[in-house]
Structure 1
Amino acid sequence: MDTTRRRIVRAEAGELGYRRLAEAPGEPHAVREDLAPASASRAGTPLARFAHLSDLHVMDAQSPSRVEYLERHADPDSPLRAYLPLIGTYRPQDVFTTHVVEAMVRAVNEFDVDFAVSTGDATDACQANELRAYLGTLDGGPVDPDSGERGHWEGVHASDPATYDVRYWHPGGTPEGCEDDHARARYGFPEAPGVLDAAARPFEATGLHVPWYAVYGNHDNMLQGVVPPWPELGEITVGGAKLTALPEGDVVELLHGFDQAERDVVARLLDGATVPVTPDPERRHVSRAEWIGAHVDCHGHGYVRANAESDTAYYAFDHGVLRCLVLDTVNPHGFWQGSLDVPQFEWLRAELAASADRLVVLFSHHPLDTLVNDHGPDRRVLADELAALLHASPNVVLWVNGHTHENKVTPQATFWEVTTASHIDWPQQARLVEVRDNADGTLSIVVTIVDHSGPVTGGGEDPIGLAGLSRELSANYWQHRDGPERGAGTAADRNVELLLRDPRPNGW
């Protein structure tokens, strides 16, 4: 739903601090004049209107190479929390990712938009079954979220006495002889018997009703968005042993080495404890070229066969007066922040020079200030160099991205940068973006937050009911719920009208 009409907020804390969700009055558009003044007589003729989705994180939550056990070192009672405030390898709502995307698709389909863009991290760990589920959910058709042994949940959420761990939320309850998990005993999380079976159940996805374009993200390229899919990790992912604990050693050193994609440290992690699971070849890792090729095979979504053949994930498309440039900001050598390779940077320079008669909109996964990743043997283009090029290109009016899982709007001297929250973390939102010609020498970019169609309260075992439960769980994740609200941003980052000078000399 359009949040100018109604917002979904966290209600008062109940038992053990758990908060249900509630409806609140809508939030009107605030006018931001950081880059140009707003005249009362501006006409506001629409030039384009599109939907922005980001960080879907369609996930195989039962994958053997998931490293959920790292997450506990950022829990409130962890002695390492001051050093490791954010890890991101586990969430209570991990099992409902396809359902949230389905609920967002249904919400977006209620609006009159020209197209949609998904700005990366569409999948979570570059697995073939995740790629198939993401494409199926956005395109429409059968979606199967299950993996491994069908009908038997083997992920960390299961209430199996052999693998039960109090650090994870277990919706099915506590096995006999075990203590209640921390989520329910300390933080007030509910029991929800049957939801794991429901989460694994195949469903028929609605599909977006408009053309949509894809952007490549670090999670589409790497395990946990950090580590390249080296062959030794591929063997674990399709195999029959799931990692459950760190090996002996300095925890901070091991976690830092994982975060920095240090191959020798990652190899040590493979010596940690494991439990047996059902192997599944459909979990195999996919390369960038295969990821692109899968899009080409189902409507393209911006990519063409030449992208797959050249292993390039950047491209351009036109919509009316807009020239849309899609960047690949993923560094394939590892680490979760972004950068550009030199050939792409030169392509971008040429595209900007050739687009002097268009309004240029950029799409990428990473925001400008996260382009700091110089891993690898070749030179990478980082934030300052890219910003200099863009600021010398007056027709760039907007840069749309994700990655940080928060709503944020930033004036960048000559253009606006719009970052949108994720589908996996609170508040699980998307945006509508409209570019308007004010016929007074200015443009307006009107951005509006959209909530997915999951129920605000209650639930159910259909995909939309599970999406509502996922949003509630995301609002209560114990690592973040007691501090400043993460993800939603401020009012100045949500429903806003962004003014800037029209770079077209005569408005063409």
Structure 2
Amino acid sequence: MTGLTGSTGLTRRGFVTAAGATGAGLLLSTPLASAIDRAMGYSAARAVSTAGTTLEAVATPVTPGPAYSRLTAGPGWPLVVREDITAAKSGRDDRRTAKASFVQFTDMHITDVQSPARFEYLHQFAGSAHRPQEALGPSATASLLRRVNGLPGGPFTGRKFDFMMTTGDNTDNHEQIELKWFLDILNGGRVTPNTGDADRYEGVQDSGAPLYWNPGKPLDDAYTKKGFPQLPGLLDAAVTEFESPGLDIPWLCTFGNHDNTPVGTLPANLPGIDHWYTGKYKIIGKDESTAKRLAAALDKDGTGRSTVEGGGGRRAGVPVAELFGGSGTIREITPDERRRTFSTAEFVQAHLDTANTGPGPEGHGFTGNNADGRNVYYTFRIAPGITGISLDTTTLAGLADGSIGLGQYLWVEKTLQRGSSKYYDFWGNKVTQQVTDELFVLFSHHTSDTMGNILPDSRHPLEPRLNGDTFVGLLNRFPNVLAWVNGHTHLNGIVAHIGKTPAQSFWEINTASHIDFPQQARIIEVTDNGDGTLSLFTTLVEADAPYAADYGDTSAQALASLYRELSYNDIHADPIRLGQPSDRNTELLVINPLA
């Protein structure tokens, strides 16, 4: 996404913006510590309640630096007022009325870590191939649900949450059992995050291979050298049954690339793929040159060119047989038919199954019109006067990035036209009509700048695929579009897409994943300021788990604490994922097109 640069510090300009025009001079005349206090005080004064959000406290390293660090509760992140599109007007807090309040989860990556359909041995060249914390993901996700359930509503309006939307990559390997765990976690109930042998863990982290952190076996590996602790019994705890509370609010679902293609990168419907997924041989290591070559083949940008440094140029295709087999270090594991892949139709049908309705709605956004898996996009009611549009930016052609098909593009255009009394046509001419206006918020997995994979989708093989810039151009024609909310990048980022006029501008809101640090979700509140502007308040939240992990506690909540700590210390962790202060807790001003 354009403008997503990495800095974890709170800049002087960020503080000034956070305080608004009236507080700028005061901040400029105070020391940094005092400025932080004043910015936090300003944020708290504008909120109904900051409790349980990153406005109050944020996971912070005890000893910042390259070595392993425990975490503690650090100062919260203040509210940053963003006036990229239109200026904020004084007195709006006294006038504002809440129009909607909802939560975004994204990139949960519920993972069967023992599956033979994983390429952990590539992590030296593709960090996401293996994470030291990933076995704890299912139980840790339950703690994120507890956080949301424990909040009375949006921190700036107090409005109860209308719903939660998950913007894709709900599963990781694309397995039937991962889909079941995902649904059971969100809907509530007993979950056993184990496959293969019912009595023991059979993944890479007890293999004795020094490519990985083995918490029960001290090895000469990069993780241990960094200071990762020895935690015997951790893997047994990770695959033990736990109780998920489920969400107390309705939730909806959007497709991610890991939800529609094997491991989120391989083409769908590969012949014999289930044979590998349900087999008994797991590759846990290959020589360095082979691993680099395979990582390069998987990490392409949609034009066939590798983005892995030193990985070579264009490649004809992904050598699937070599990824799953061939030479290397092999571990024999217990086969499990539940690891079978699912189709897009099966994913939708699982949501439509009334046994999986949970807190609702039935289908979680999907309807019978989506049941064949071809067109898995839909509209829904966010709140009175606000329509949500859930997109499908994935393609069955494979590779991680996405795009949008022409048919879906035209469907979005017609949907926006039906709810817009004023909009602009393709040539920039203003169109007026007599219709009931709706405000629109769109949801997708991919961001505008990760929609460059225009390979044909086998669901619509003859249909052109369009990139993110083209889609942004469409949204800029409709003043009733407020925001586009997405995931995929695993980082926090917010960009204003400025149109030909301020009224033709909207916000793109990108949120970090719940697998990589900082492991956050986002609350979004829409308010009418009563002055010709609307505000979108975006507030990040973390899982309801102690910041200081207790190594002697194996409860689900304690594992969630460790999940966070390990993710912070991952040798592939990237601080850019935190985003800038202006990408975190914000007030985003837009012109009210209906005023």
Q: How high is the TM-score relative to the length of structure 1?
A: 0.91
Mapped to 1, the partners of 2:89 and 2:288 lie a distance apart of 64
**1:440-479 residue CA offsets vs partner (Å, 9 max, x unmatched):** 0000000001011121002321111111001000111113
Mapped to 1, the partners of 2:64 and 2:250 lie a distance apart of 41
1:348 aligns with 2:418: no
| Percent sequence identity over aligned pairs | 39
Alpha carbons 2:122, 2:291 under 8 Å: kept: no
Mapped to 2, the partners of 1:188 and 1:445 lie a distance apart of 41
Give the match for residue 5 of structure 1. 56
**1:130-180 residue CA offsets vs partner (Å, 9 max, x unmatched):** 00001100111121100000121000011xxxx311111111123xxxx44
**1:196-238 residue CA offsets vs partner (Å, 9 max, x unmatched):** 1111011121000000010100011123311124233321111
What is the 5 A alignment of 1:59-138? 59-72=111-124, 74=125, 86-111=126-151, 112=153, 113-138=161-186
Match of 1:487 among 569, 573, 577: 577
| Greater Cα offset, 435-444 or 311-320 | 311-320
How far 1:310 sits from its partner (Å)? 5.2
How far 1:251 sits from its partner (Å)? 4.8
SS in structure 1 opposite 2:522?
A: strand
Alpha carbons 1:151, 1:200 under 8 Å: kept: no
The letter of the residue matching 1:17 is A
Cα gap change, 1:13/1:3 in structure 2, threshold over 3 Å: closer, same or farther? closer
How far 1:250 sits from its partner (Å)? 5.3
Alpha carbons 1:65, 1:233 under 8 Å: kept: no
SS in structure 1 opposite 2:150?
A: coil
Give the match for residue 532 of structure 2. 441
Cα gap change, 1:194/1:215 in structure 2, threshold over 3 Å: closer, same or farther? same
**1:108-135 residue CA offsets vs partner (Å, 9 max, x unmatched):** 1122211111100000011000000011
How far 1:255 sits from its partner (Å)? 2.2
Alpha carbons 1:64, 1:242 under 8 Å: kept: yes
Q: CA RMSD in A?
A: 1.7
What is the 5 A alignment of 1:382-393? 382-393=467-478
1:21 aligns with 2:68: no
What is the 5 A alignment of 1:29-428? 29-42=79-92, 43-72=95-124, 74=125, 86-111=126-151, 112=153, 113-158=161-206, 163-174=207-218, 179-184=219-224, 186-229=225-268, 230-246=270-286, 251-260=291-300, 263=317, 265-269=319-323, 270-273=325-328, 274-297=330-353, 298-299=356-357, 300-309=363-372, 311-318=374-381, 319-356=383-420, 357-376=437-456, 378=462, 379-413=464-498, 414-428=505-519
Cα gap change, 1:433/1:202 in structure 2, threshold over 3 Å: closer, same or farther? same
Mapped to 2, the partners of 1:173 and 1:264 lie a distance apart of 34
Mapped to 2, the partners of 1:31 and 1:146 lie a distance apart of 45
Give the match for residue 79 of structure 1. none
How far 1:253 sits from its partner (Å)? 3.6
Mapped to 2, the partners of 1:423 and 1:476 lie a distance apart of 15
Mapped to 1, the partners of 2:564 and 2:317 lie a distance apart of 35
Alpha carbons 2:98, 2:526 under 8 Å: kept: yes
Alpha carbons 1:374, 1:382 under 8 Å: kept: yes
Give the match for residue 77 of structure 1. none
Alpha carbons 1:11, 1:20 under 8 Å: kept: yes
Alpha carbons 1:89, 1:224 under 8 Å: kept: no
Mapped to 1, the partners of 2:369 and 2:317 lie a distance apart of 32
How far 1:71 sits from its partner (Å)? 0.7
Structure with higher Rg: it is 2
Alpha carbons 1:32, 1:498 under 8 Å: kept: yes
Alpha carbons 2:495, 2:509 under 8 Å: kept: yes
Alpha carbons 1:338, 1:371 under 8 Å: kept: yes
| Greater Cα offset, 319-328 or 253-262 | 253-262
Give the match for residue 471 of structure 1. 564
Alpha carbons 1:335, 1:375 under 8 Å: kept: no
Gaps of 5+ in 1: 75-85
Alpha carbons 2:107, 2:168 under 8 Å: kept: yes
How far 1:252 sits from its partner (Å)? 4.1
Alpha carbons 1:289, 1:312 under 8 Å: kept: no
Give the match for residue 34 of structure 2. none
How far 1:272 sits from its partner (Å)? 3.3
SS in structure 1 opposite 2:199?
A: coil
How far 1:246 sits from its partner (Å)? 3.6
How far 1:381 sits from its partner (Å)? 1.3
Give the match for residue 82 of structure 1. none
How far 1:417 sits from its partner (Å)? 0.8
**1:354-389 residue CA offsets vs partner (Å, 9 max, x unmatched):** 121111000000111111001235421111221111
Mapped to 1, the partners of 2:127 and 2:58 lie a distance apart of 29
| Greater Cα offset, 251-260 or 225-234 | 251-260
Mapped to 2, the partners of 1:93 and 1:250 lie a distance apart of 26
Cα gap change, 1:246/1:355 in structure 2, threshold over 3 Å: closer, same or farther? farther
Cα gap change, 1:197/1:264 in structure 2, threshold over 3 Å: closer, same or farther? closer
Alpha carbons 2:346, 2:373 under 8 Å: kept: no
Mapped to 1, the partners of 2:271 and 2:395 lie a distance apart of 18
How far 1:311 sits from its partner (Å)? 2.8
Alpha carbons 1:21, 1:456 under 8 Å: kept: yes
1:461 aligns with 2:554: yes
Alpha carbons 2:105, 2:167 under 8 Å: kept: yes
Alpha carbons 1:236, 1:242 under 8 Å: kept: no
SS in structure 1 opposite 2:264?
A: coil
Mapped to 2, the partners of 1:4 and 1:498 lie a distance apart of 16
Mapped to 1, the partners of 2:89 and 2:556 lie a distance apart of 45
Mapped to 2, the partners of 1:249 and 1:417 lie a distance apart of 39
Mapped to 2, the partners of 1:65 and 1:468 lie a distance apart of 28
Cα gap change, 1:469/1:251 in structure 2, threshold over 3 Å: closer, same or farther? closer
Alpha carbons 2:172, 2:178 under 8 Å: kept: yes
Mapped to 1, the partners of 2:508 and 2:480 lie a distance apart of 14
